Structure 1
Amino acid sequence: MLLLQLRATLLALGALLSTSVTVAAPLPAPAHFYPYGTAVGDRIAPVNDDGSTGDVPISVKFPYVDHEHESLYVNTNGVISFLEEVSQFTPDAFPLGGNRRLIAAFWGDVDTRMNSGRLYYRETRDSDILRRASREVRQAFVRFTRFSATWVFIASWHRVTYYGGSSSTSLNTFQIVLITNGRHSFTMFNYGDIAWTTGTASGGSSSTGLGGVPAQVGFNAGDGIVYQSVPGSRTAAIVNIETTTNVGLPGRWVFRIDDSTVKFGGCNTAGTLEIGPSYGSMMGGLLVTVSGPCFDQHSDTSNVVCKFANIVTPAKVLDATRAQCILPMLTKTGVVRVGISTDGGQHYDHGGNFTLVASDPQHTVSLVNKDNIKLGQFAERLRITWLPIYFNATVVDIDFVIFRYNSDRTSVQKKIVRLMSGVRNTGSVTLPTGLTNSLVLISDSLGSLRISAAIVGGCSHIVSLWSEIHVAQWYTNMYLNELRRRTDGGTGSARALATPALLARVRQTWASQCSAWYQVEKGNPPSSANLPACPCTRRQAKFDSRFENDPTCSNGAANCSLLHLGAHHCVRTALASALGTGQQCCYDEAGDILPFENGGGSLQRAHPKRNITGLSHLLVDVWPQFLCCKYSDNCDKFKEVRPTDNCGRFEPPVIATTFGSAHIITLDGLRYTFNGLGEFWLLRSPHFELQGRASQDSNIQGQLVGSTSWTAIVAKATGGSLVQVQINRRTGVDIFIDGVKQDFDDLHTQEFTRVTVSCDARNGTVEIRFHGADDYVIKMKWIEGIFSYTLSWPKYADHPRGLLGNANGNVTDDLKTQSGVVIDSNSPPKELHEDFAMTWKTTAEESMFVYGAGASHDGYTDPSFEPRFEQPEVDDDTKRQATEICGGADAKDCIFDYLMTGKASVARDTAEAVRQHDSAVDSAKKVVTCGFLESPGNGTKNGSSPLAGSVVKFSCNDGFILDGSAQRTCTEAGTWDGVDTKCIGGYDCGAHSPCTPKNRHDRKLYFRHFDKTKFVQCGYRYGCYVQACSPGTVYNEALGLCFFKI
C-alpha cells in the first residue's frame, strides 16, 4: 500500500514537472493604455461602492496645483484625490471648495460589486515605463524637450459598471497616469470603451447607465477657485470621450498639472504656439518643434511654414499636433516672434516667442584645444567634439563661417570655407593642417565652426551645430599652410610650414586692415557718455552691480594672456549705454586697475550684449585689436580710439538692503526694523517704482508670530516691463513679466522690454537689471520662504522716496512720510511703525501687483495684526544659542530673527546680509588715484597702479638717456610727484659708457645740449644721464658749462 502511494505521488510529481508554465500577462486594453493588472505588480482596490483604497503613501512629493503631496486616494468613483477620500457619487460642477483636491478621469457612480470589473493601481519606476512616459510628455508639451520622468502612478478602472447596473450592463474602461520628475508633473487620461455615464442614484437609467447627471472629467484644486474641465463634462456627450483627444490620439487627453493652473497639452484653437526648445543660438540650424494648430495629416501639408521674425522656413508635419522647422540664422539676440501658417504663409494664426542667444551650451561644437594654438605655431592642430546624436546622418561636413562687415558697416557678410567633407559622425575629429577642400581662401579669421549633415537639394536652412564665435588662430595657421602650398604651385605639402617671408607678407595685409579701420574710427570714435567709470579696484567692481565679470579674462584664467597680458581679472559694464557702447576694466593680481599697455581694458564701441550679441562686438572691437596689436605692430592706433578708463571719475552707487524679519538699511545707511503687514511703497521716483509685500512670519512649529518678512516685490522703470517676483513655497519663486508668468528653468537669463531678469533656482537667487539713463539693479535671495534683497541706486539720482529712504546723502531725513514729514529715527519703534512706515502702505488703486485667482490687495493685510517690536523673553540657553548662531551679542537683527522664528537658517541669512552690505559700503569708499603713467617712448616702466602710494620706475632702452624722474610716487593729493619722464636719443657716450673711475671728473665728457637748459653728462656709477642747468642759466656747448643768460 505504501509503495502504491509512493508511485502515485511520483507520477503526479512527474506530471506537474512536465506541465508548461504560463506567465501571467497584463489585462487586455487598448494600445495607448499603460500595462496594468496583477501580472505587472498592480494592487487591487477593495471591491465596493463609493469607497477607495484609503490613504496610499507614495515615494515622491507629487506636485499638483502648486502643492506637494506625499499620499493619495484612489477612489472607486473614477477619481484620484489628495486631501481626503471622495465618496460622493453624483459629480458637482467645478470649481469645488472644501479641500476637494482631485483629478477626475471619469467621476461617476462606479460600483465594482456588480460584476468582475476591478480597480487596479501601482506606483512604478520601471525604466521602460519612465522612458515611455517621458517620450509621450515631450510629444504633448513640446517645450519640455528635456523632460525625464522619475516616477509614474497608474490607476486603471477595468470593465467597471455603474451603481444600479448588473453583471450584464454596460462597462467602462479608463485610466489615470500621473507622471513627474519631482518639479513638473503631468496627467494622462486614457479611455477604452465608454458605454455609460451615470448611476441610477444620479438619475441614470438602470438598463443603459445614461441620462441624469453624467460624469465629470477634469481637475479641481479644492479652493473653490482653480479648476479645469474637459469639454463635454457633466453632459451626455461625455460618453463619446473615447473618440476625442487634445493630442491627436483618440481616447487620450494630456495635461500639465504642477502649476497653479492646469494646462492642456497638444493643439489648440486659441492661437497660442508652444515651442521647444524655447531658445537657441542666433546662428541657426536648430531643429525646433512647434505645437499650436491641429494638423490634418491626411491632406497636403506642404503649405505648412514657420516664420522666425521675418524669415520664412519650410515645416515638416510630424503628427496631428506637431511640426518641425529649422531655425534660420538671424545674427541678433533677444526675443523674436515665431508664427506657423497652414496656408503657405498667407495667415499666421498661431504665434509664440522664441529667445535667440549668442551661443547655446546645449547644442554646440566644442573647441577642445583652441587656447593652446598660437599664430605661426603649426604643430598643434585643432580638435573638436560634438553630439553625434544631433544628426540623423552617418557623415557630416565641417565648415568655418567667416563674418565681416560690408564696406559701410550696415550689414554682416559671411564667407563659408569648407574644412572637411564626408566626416564620419563619431562626435570627434582633428582638423587638417591646410584647406585642401576649400575653393575659398580668405585671411580673416573671425567666425564660427559649423558642423552639418550634407546639404540636400540646395536647402538654405540645414540642421547645424556651431561653435562660439571667436578669432581663430588655428584657422590662420591652416590658411598660411594652404597659401604656401598653392604658392608652391601644388608641389608643396599641406603639412609644410609657412615661410617667415610669407607670414611677413600676410602681416602687412593685416597692418593695412588695421590702418584702414583706424582711419574710419578716428573720425568718429565711440563715446563714453552715459557709461560708468571703471572702479579703481577689483573689490569695488565686485560690489558694483553695474559691472559683471568678463568671460574673456576671469580670475587669472589662461585666456587673459590673449589680449590682456598682465591682467588677472577683467569686468565689463553689465548693460550697454544708450549709444550701445560698453566699458571694460582689467585688474592685476593685487586688484588694482591696469592701463592698456599692461593688460588693461578698453572702451567698446559695441557692447557684447547689445544688438547682434557678440558678433558686433567681435567685429568692431575684438578683431581690430587682434589686427593692430597681435597681428601687426600698430597697437598705438587701437589704443588711441579704444582708450582705457583711468577710474578718476568713478562714483560708486548707493545700496539699500532688506533682510530677515523686514529689517531695512536705507540708501543713506539708516538701519531700522519694519514690521508692517501688507503691501507698501519701498521706493518711488519719477522714473522708477518699487513695491513690496510683507507677510506674517511663522516659527519653526508653523505658528504665526509677531514679525513680518518680504515675500514679493514688483518694480517698473519708465518705458520698461513690469517685473513681479514672489515666493512659491514649492518651487522657490514665481516671476511674472507684464502679468505673464515666465519659466526660467532652461534659460536662466532673459531679456524683456528695457529689463534683464536672471533666475537661478539652484542658488536661490534672482537679479533684475533695469535699462535706462540710470541703471537700477535688484539682487534677491530667498530662504525658508523669505526674501532678502539689495537695491543698487545711482548716487543722488532721481530723488526717490519710500521705506528705503531718499538717497540724498543725509541719514537724518530718511524716515520721511508720504506727506513729507520727517520722523526722528530715535523715536520708539512703535511710533516709527505707526507714524512713518504705515504711511507708505499702498492702496488697491496704487498696487502694481498682479493677483492670482481669488487673491486681492486687501487679502494680504490684516487690520488686527499686532507687530512685536522687542525681542521676546526666552531662557538663557536659547539666548546663548542665538548668540552662538549669530556670531556675537552685537548681531541684534540676527538674534531677533532667531528668537522670533526659531529658524537658524533665517538668522544666519540675516547675519550674512548685514556682512555683505557692510562689505559693499566699505568697498565704495573713495580711492585716491593719480591717473595712469605711460612708458616713455624708447623706454619701459616697472609698476602700473595709479592708486595712492604706488611707485612707478622708469628705464630707457640701449642708446637712449633718461630725462626726468626715474621714479615717481602717487601722492595722497592725487598727483604724481617728480616730473615727466622721457628717453632721449642721439647721444653716444662711446668709450666712456659705462663711465670708469678715471674719467669721472673729466669735464670734456659733457655732450651737446638739446634744449639749452639740459645737457648729457657721463657720471661715475651712473653712465650717461641728463643734467639740468640751474634756474636762470643756459648751457654753453663750447665751454661745456651752464652760464647765466645775458
Structure 2
Amino acid sequence: MEQASSAWARDRCLQWDALESKLPNFLDKLMDCPCTLAQARADSGRFHTDYTCDIERGSVCTYHPGSVHCVRSVQASPSDGSGQQCCYDSVGDLVLTWDSVGGSTPDRAHDWGAPPYRTPPRIPGYSHWLYDVTSFFYCCLWSDLCHLYLNRRPSSGCRNYRPPRAAAVLGSLHFRTFDGLRYTFSGRGEYDLVRSPHRALSVQVRAERVKLENGTLVRATRLASVAMRENSSDVIEVRLQGEHLQVLRNKSILPFSEQSWMDLQGEALQAAPSPQNVTVMFSSGAAVELRLDEGTMTSTVLLPAEFSNKTRGLLGQMNSNPSDDLVTPAGNVASSANATLEEIFTIASEWNISKASSLFTYDSRYLLDSYFLPPSHDSAFVPAFSLPEKPDDPLVADMLSVCLGEGAQLCKHDTLITRSLAGGNATLRALRSHRALMEALEPVASCGWLPAPRNGKKNGTRYLQGSTLSFTCNGGYVLYGSTERTCEEKRAWSGLQTHCVTGELSNMKMVKMSLYCAKER
C-alpha cells in the first residue's frame, strides 16, 4: 500500500513537472529577498511573516528544515501574480535551495491572488494550493523527487535587494527624516508628513496639544491621528482612542476582533493586539507603522528606493542629502545647522494641509477642537521651545537616572513637558527602536551563491561581503583554483573557481585547466 502511494505521488509530481515546463517563466519577475533576517523583518511594506515558519511563535518550520523564520511578499508580482518567499537560518542568513531543501522557495501563484482574480494563476488561495503547495507534497513529502520541485522553485538570492528608507515622528514632536536630519516641531494642526507624486502617496498627521492627567493643556503637541492614501486606494486613518489605536477606513471605523490582517482596496493592514500596533502596507511597497506607548503615538514611514528624489513634507526629500530636508513647500531651503527652534517652527508650519486635500475624518470628537475650521495650523499656539531643569523639581532627580545615552535630551524634554517620567521613557524607547530599525535596514552587499566543486565540499553558506568560503576535495581528487574565496566590497568573489580533478589528469588537461583559470582571472 505504501509503495502504491509513493508511486502515485511520483506520478503526480512528474505530471506537475511536465506542466511547469510548458508554463511561462515567472522567476525573473520576482523581487530579490532581503539578505538578512533583520532586513526581512524590518521591511514591513514588502514582506510579512510566513506563519508556517515564525520565530516569534516558536514554529518548527516543517516545510523548511534548517530555517527558523520565513517571510512572504505582501504584494503579488503585477505581471503574472507570482509571490516571493524568503527563509533564514539561526544566524540570520538567507537559506538557498542550492544548499538545502529547507531553502527559500518562490510561488508561481501568490496566496492572496492578484488582479484579475478570476484568471489562473491569480485565484486567491486556490491557485497557490494548486501550483505550489500540492506539488511540494507530491514531490518532497510523499515521494523522493524533491529535486524536481527545487529545480522549478529555486531561491532568488539577494544580490539585487535594496532595503527601504525609514523616517519617523515620535514623542512631542521629534522628527527623523529619510536622510537622517533631526529636528523638533511641536505645531498644532494638520500637516503633510510625506507627499509624493510617485504613486500619488500622501501621509498626513494631525497634532493636538498634550493634556496632563489633571486636564491641564501644556505648550507641546503629540500625534493624534495619521491619515494616508496611495493612488486610488482606500483612505486609512489611525488615531488615538483612549488606551488603543482606532482604525478608520474611508472615514468609517474598522473593527478588529480576532482578525489581525485585512487585505483592503489598494493596501493591506495588520494590527495586533487591541490594536496597539498598526501597519499599513501599500501596493508600491511603502509602509506606515503606528505604535502606541504610554499614550504617545509613534509613526514610522518606510519607502522603497523608487521614491528617491520624489518626496516632500515634514520627513524631507529622500535624496541622501540631509541639508535640504528643512524646506518649505515653495522650495526655500533653510540651513538646518544654523536654524533656531523658532525658525524651524515657522518653516515646518508651512506644511499645513488645505481642507481640499485633507484625508482626515471630522466627527464629533474633533468638532470642539476647531479642526473643521481653517486654517489647519493654529498660528495662535506657540510651544515651549525649551524647558529649564529646576533643581527643586521632584521629577529632575528621577529623570536624570532614566534619560541616559543617545536621546537623553529628548527624554528630558518630554518628561518635563508631560510631567511624566513614563512619557519621557516612552520617547527614549521610541528613539532606540528607530535606531535599531535603521541598523537592520543597513545595505548589505552579496556576491551571490557559489557552488561546491564537483567531487568536493564547500565550508560555509554565507555569501555576504566579508564572508570567506573554503573548499576541499574528496579522496583521490586534487584541488585546482582557490582553496578560499572572499566576498569583496565590489560584490565579487576573490580568487579563482575551484575544481577537483583526478590525480591521473593528463598534461594536456593540465594545460587546458591553467588556461581556463587564467581566463577567469
The aligned counterpart of 2:345 is: 833
CA distance in 2, matches of 1:947, 1:667: 25
The aligned counterpart of 1:540 is: 39
Percent sequence identity over aligned pairs: 33
In the TM superposition, residue 543 of structure 1 has moved relative to its aligned partner by 1.6
CA distance in 2, matches of 1:756, 1:696: 31
Measured at CA, do residues 819 and 510 of structure 1 come closer, stay the same or move farther in structure 2, by a change above 3 Å?
same
Alignment of 1:899-918 (within 5 A): 899-918=416-435
The equivalent position to 1:920 in structure 2, one of 433, 437, 441, is 437
In the TM superposition, residue 761 of structure 1 has moved relative to its aligned partner by 4.3
CA distance in 1, matches of 2:455, 2:141: 20
The aligned counterpart of 1:894 is: 411
8 A Cα contact 2:244 2:275, kept in partner: no
In the TM superposition, residue 959 of structure 1 has moved relative to its aligned partner by 7.3
CA distance in 1, matches of 2:386, 2:269: 37
The equivalent position to 1:879 in structure 2, one of 362, 378, 396, is 396
For residues 284-327 of structure 1, the C-alpha deviation after alignment (integer angstroms, 9 at most, x for no partner) is: xxxxxxxxxxxxxxxxxxxxxxxxxxxxxxxxxxxxxxxxxxxx
The aligned counterpart of 2:311 is: 800
The aligned counterpart of 1:787 is: 297
CA distance in 1, matches of 2:415, 2:490: 47
Measured at CA, do residues 676 and 1031 of structure 1 come closer, stay the same or move farther in structure 2, by a change above 3 Å?
closer
The aligned counterpart of 1:867 is: 383
The aligned counterpart of 1:575 is: 75
Measured at CA, do residues 843 and 940 of structure 1 come closer, stay the same or move farther in structure 2, by a change above 3 Å?
same
Measured at CA, do residues 615 and 904 of structure 1 come closer, stay the same or move farther in structure 2, by a change above 3 Å?
farther
Q: Per the alignment, in what secondary structure is the counterpart of residue 151 of structure 2?
A: helix
8 A Cα contact 1:526 1:581, kept in partner: no
The equivalent position to 1:695 in structure 2, one of 205, 208, 213, is 208
Alignment of 1:152-301 (within 5 A): none
The aligned counterpart of 2:363 is: 852
Measured at CA, do residues 839 and 932 of structure 1 come closer, stay the same or move farther in structure 2, by a change above 3 Å?
same
Question: Which is further off, 545-554 or 968-977?
Answer: 968-977
The aligned counterpart of 1:725 is: 238
In the TM superposition, residue 739 of structure 1 has moved relative to its aligned partner by 1.8
In the TM superposition, residue 796 of structure 1 has moved relative to its aligned partner by 4.5
- Equivalenced residues, count: 493
The aligned counterpart of 2:446 is: 929
CA distance in 1, matches of 2:298, 2:250: 23
Unaligned segments of structure 1, at least 5 residues: 1-483, 485-497, 988-1005, 1016-1027, 1033-1046
For residues 505-549 of structure 1, the C-alpha deviation after alignment (integer angstroms, 9 at most, x for no partner) is: 543443333233223323434535664421111122222212222
| Structure with greater strand share of residues | 1
Q: Per the alignment, in what secondary structure is the counterpart of residue 349 of structure 2?
A: helix
8 A Cα contact 1:543 1:920, kept in partner: yes
Q: Per the alignment, in what secondary structure is the counterpart of residue 649 of structure 1?
A: coil
CA distance in 2, matches of 1:889, 1:787: 20
Alignment of 1:251-650 (within 5 A): 484=1, 498=2, 503=3, 506-528=5-27, 531-545=30-44, 546-555=46-55, 557=58, 559-560=60-61, 562-578=62-78, 579-596=80-97, 597-598=99-100, 599-610=102-113, 612-650=123-161
For residues 561-608 of structure 1, the C-alpha deviation after alignment (integer angstroms, 9 at most, x for no partner) is: x33232232222233232322211122211111221323202221222
CA distance in 2, matches of 1:512, 1:718: 47
For residues 82-112 of structure 1, the C-alpha deviation after alignment (integer angstroms, 9 at most, x for no partner) is: xxxxxxxxxxxxxxxxxxxxxxxxxxxxxxx
8 A Cα contact 2:209 2:218, kept in partner: yes
The equivalent position to 1:1013 in structure 2, one of 502, 509, 516, is 509
Measured at CA, do residues 882 and 970 of structure 1 come closer, stay the same or move farther in structure 2, by a change above 3 Å?
same
The aligned counterpart of 1:684 is: 195
Q: Per the alignment, in what secondary structure is the counterpart of residue 263 of structure 2?
A: strand
Structure 1 residue 734 and structure 2 residue 246: aligned? Answer: yes
CA distance in 1, matches of 2:142, 2:74: 29
8 A Cα contact 2:473 2:479, kept in partner: yes
User: Residue 408 of structure 2 aligns to which amino acid in structure 1?
Assistant: A
Unaligned segments of structure 2, at least 5 residues: 114-121, 517-521
CA distance in 2, matches of 1:861, 1:789: 20
Q: Per the alignment, in what secondary structure is the counterpart of residue 616 of structure 1?
A: helix
Alignment of 1:807-826 (within 5 A): 807-826=318-337
CA distance in 2, matches of 1:590, 1:867: 47
| Structure with greater helix share of residues | 2
User: Residue 170 of structure 2 aligns to which amino acid in structure 1?
Assistant: F
The aligned counterpart of 1:950 is: 467
8 A Cα contact 2:187 2:377, kept in partner: no
For residues 397-443 of structure 1, the C-alpha deviation after alignment (integer angstroms, 9 at most, x for no partner) is: xxxxxxxxxxxxxxxxxxxxxxxxxxxxxxxxxxxxxxxxxxxxxxx
The aligned counterpart of 1:278 is: none
CA distance in 1, matches of 2:436, 2:345: 28
In the TM superposition, residue 635 of structure 1 has moved relative to its aligned partner by 3.7
The equivalent position to 1:753 in structure 2, one of 256, 265, 275, is 265
Q: Per the alignment, in what secondary structure is the counterpart of residue 508 of structure 2?
A: coil
User: Residue 944 of structure 1 aligns to which amino acid in structure 2?
Assistant: T
